[in-house]
Amino acid sequence: MGIKQNLKVWDNNATYLDENGVTVTRKIPRELPPAPWKLLGLLTWRSWVFWFVGLAAWIADGYDFNAVNLVATNIAAQYNVDLTHVTLSITLTLLFRALGAAIFGLASDMYGRKWVMAVNMWILAALQVATAYAGSFRGFIGVRAVFGIAMGGIWGLSAAMALENMPVEARGIFGGLLQNGYGMGYILAAMVNIVAVPATNQGYKMIFFVGAGYTALVAVIVMCIPESAIFIHAANELKDTRSAAKRVSLFWHDARLVSRQYWKMFLYSVLFCSAYNWMSHATQDIYPSYVKVQKGFTSRQASLATITGQCGAIIGGTTAGYYSQFFGRRLTSIACVVVAFLFIRSSRCRTASALSSRARSSCK
């Protein structure tokens, strides 16, 4: 009954296990969220630190992944391959994300957020440098596949560190702001592509060097902050299971219980996130190459169009995240999908200004 109840658009239903282990579904009244400035006062200094670190890590992830998208035509020319072969690296990166999410997610639950995230960021920085120095196209593909594993760990670690220490009332707007870090990273990469890439003799490789430097900086910052307070609290409750063998045994015991109780909702969430990822990556990953090859944009124009679109994404993510506290995550998601669908036709626009706005219904 839980999933069917939760599929109702307006009803704000919550399904959970009560203290007796019985599945209960009840309707939660909708309440207008507090004013944004009031939400700011709910955060402690630790909440701010954890959130900013999570945001910085997610910005690095957005930058590092989309760097290839912005210079895909340059990479194709460098290795003398067709552009479609370069997009294979994007596919492999996303394909291996799931493996990385599982590896780093399990490690963070067992050993903490801080050091697992630091290791993850250092690996990501090293792979950015390796991307720039790949001696062959086969080597480039291999590096980006391994990069996908490292990339897969970032979102789970960032979200856990940023939001598990956040007051519940503030999670809507700060969750939206956190998600916008991906767009911020894309914008940062596009700006580097406009300013730094043409100005140096390193060419397109400069975008990867800058990304490696920023990612390494985030890794250093992560190493300097305290461990997540929520993880420390959970660890203190399990002092009698500090040995590695006991912790692993307890973890898999809990994992089996969760799998039996929530497998339907887990499957639903996977399918839901898969659809969202298909929407986002299908429209933005090859967008710079699309406008350069199909629309005749220069590299600068393509980067500016990308920046414009990502600025819209940041505004939408913040606004939708805030109002989802009242309308609910489900109804807000449906509304955003419908609005995005209405703008598909604008991809036929021929001019840079019209195409980047994604809002000119008169384009032929």
Give pLDDT, residue 98: 86
Give pLDDT, residue 200: 83
> Is position 256 within any domain?
no
CA distances from 100 to 86, 255, 308 (A): 22, 18, 31
Domain that holds residue 109: 35-231+286-338
Q: Phi then psi for 75, rounded to 5 degrees?
A: -65, -40
Letter string b/e over residues 305-338, b meaning 16 or more CB atoms within 10 A of that residue's CB: bbbbbbebbbebbbebbbbbbebbebbbbeebee
> Is position 73 within any domain?
yes
> Is position 238 within any domain?
no
| pLDDT bucket at 10, cuts 50 / 70 / 90 | low
Name the residue among 131, 101, 126 with its Cα closest to residue 116. 101
Give pLDDT, residue 14: 66
pLDDT in tens, 150-173: 999 999 899 888 888 888 778 777
Contact 265/3 with Cβ under 8 angstroms?
A: yes
Mean pLDDT of 54-76: 91
| pLDDT bucket at 145, cuts 50 / 70 / 90 | very high
Token representation of residue 322: 């805030």
Query: How many structural domains does the chain have?
Result: 1
Contact 59/185 with Cβ under 8 angstroms?
A: yes
Give pLDDT, residue 226: 87
What CA–CA distance (Å, rounded) separates 255 from 195?
Answer: 48
> Is position 107 within any domain?
yes
> Is position 275 within any domain?
no
In the predicted structure, residue 214 carries a pLDDT above the cut 90: yes
> Is position 306 within any domain?
yes
Q: Name which residue leads in pLDDT, 9 or 303.
A: 303
In the predicted structure, residue 326 carries a pLDDT above the cut 80: no
CATH number, domain of 103, equals 1.20.1250.20
| Number of C-beta neighbours around residue 68 at 10 A | 25
Residue type, 111: Y
> Is position 293 within any domain?
yes
> Is position 100 within any domain?
yes
Q: Which range has the top average pLDDT, 203-212, 264-273, 299-308, 327-336?
A: 203-212
